């Protein structure tokens, strides 16, 4: 396996996007949502670029990230992507990429407990905004 520390931010984000979405899908099914259109609609509350940028900003505001985690977020945020944001502005898109990069880093470095801790925090934060 490639040394995750050598991966660029976009490669980390590629992995992080998938990992985060799996956790969110597991959570939604565990809460009793089983209809596909319902699952997709609820999943977007958690996995959209806007939601991920919001969550990352909250993590920064609450000083939740450790030094190395913040550097992997910045690596993803500062990566030059050849694709453009579809439904959001570039700042939100880049912050979202940074969020995914952080998730990818935690997964690839096998920091499962920390990954799950942050994802549980994200789920709680999103659900608080629904209330």
Q: Using the predicted structure, report yes or no on whether residue 28 has a pLDDT greater than 70.
A: yes
CA 58 – CA 130 distance, rounded (Å): 16
Greater model confidence, 131 or 108:
108
What's the mean pLDDT in 27-31? Answer: 93
Q: Does domain 4-130 have CATH number 3.10.20.740?
A: no
Check residue 86 and give its pLDDT: 73
Q: What are phi and psi of 86, to 5 degrees?
A: -85, -45
Q: Are 9 and 77 in contact (CB under 8 A)?
A: yes
Q: Using the predicted structure, report yes or no on whether residue 1 has a pLDDT greater than 60.
A: no
User: pTM, whole model, 2 decimals?
Assistant: 0.91
What's the mean pLDDT in 39-43? Answer: 88
Active-site pick, 17, 26, 61, 89:
17
Where along the chain do its domains lie?
A: 4-130
Residue 118: strand, helix, or coil: helix
Directed axis angle between helix 90-108 and helix 9-30, to 10°?
80
Is position 17 annotated as part of the catalytic site? yes
């Amino acid at each position: 396996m490639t040394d995750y520390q050598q991966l660029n931010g976009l490669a980390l984000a590629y992995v992080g996007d998938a990992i985060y979405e799996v956790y969110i899908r597991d959570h939604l099914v565990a809460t009793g949502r089983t209809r596909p259109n319902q699952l997709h609609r609820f999943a977007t509350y958690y996995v959209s670029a806007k939601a991920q940028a919001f969550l990352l900003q909250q993590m920064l505001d609450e000083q939740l990230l450790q030094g190395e985690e913040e550097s992997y977020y910045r690596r993803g945020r500062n990566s030059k992507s050849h694709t453009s944001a579809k439904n959001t502005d570039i700042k939100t898109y880049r912050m979202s990429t940074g969020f995914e990069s952080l998730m990818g880093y935690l997964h690839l470095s096998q920091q499962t407990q920390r990954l799950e801790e942050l994802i549980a925090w994200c789920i709680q934060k999103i659900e608080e905004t629904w209330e």
